[in-house]
């Protein structure tokens, strides 16, 4: 398999992961209500709704998978398996 073919496959994999992450994040944000969550701080000054926590968790997962795919491809390019 040529380098160009591998690069295109890698780009499509990353695009699919990000698309899936965004779709999942938007679904989580739409399903969970904004009024349910928990307070941070002793006086409850910072309210974190579960919908936003789920949204950022999905995006962080997409970023993590992207980083893992890129690092793996770099290691393969350097000859490590």
Query: What pLDDT, in 10s, does the model give residues 20-78?
Result: 878 887 887 788 777 888 888 777 678 878 777 777 887 788 788 888 878 887 888 78
Q: How many angstroms from the chain centroid is the CA of residue 71? A: 16
Question: Which pLDDT score, from 0 to 100, does residue 36 have?
Answer: 82
Does residue 16 carry a pLDDT above 80? Answer: yes
**Alpha-carbon separation of residue 61 from 5, 11, 26, 35, 44 (angstroms):** 26, 17, 14, 24, 28
pLDDT at 81: 65
- 72: domain range? 3-77
Residue owning tokens 């899936």: 20
Give the pTM: 0.60
Q: How many domains does the chain have?
A: 1
Q: Which residues are 48's β-sheet partners?
A: 38
């Amino acid at each position: 398999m040529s380098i160009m073919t591998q690069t295109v496959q890698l780009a499509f994999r990353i695009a699919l992961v990000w698309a899936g992450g965004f779709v999942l994040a938007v679904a989580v944000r739409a399903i969970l209500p904004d009024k349910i969550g928990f307070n941070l701080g002793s006086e409850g000054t910072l309210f974190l709704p579960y919908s936003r926590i789920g949204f950022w968790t999905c995006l962080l997962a997409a970023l993590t998978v992207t980083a893992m795919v890129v690092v793996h491809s770099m290691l393969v390019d350097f000859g490590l398996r």
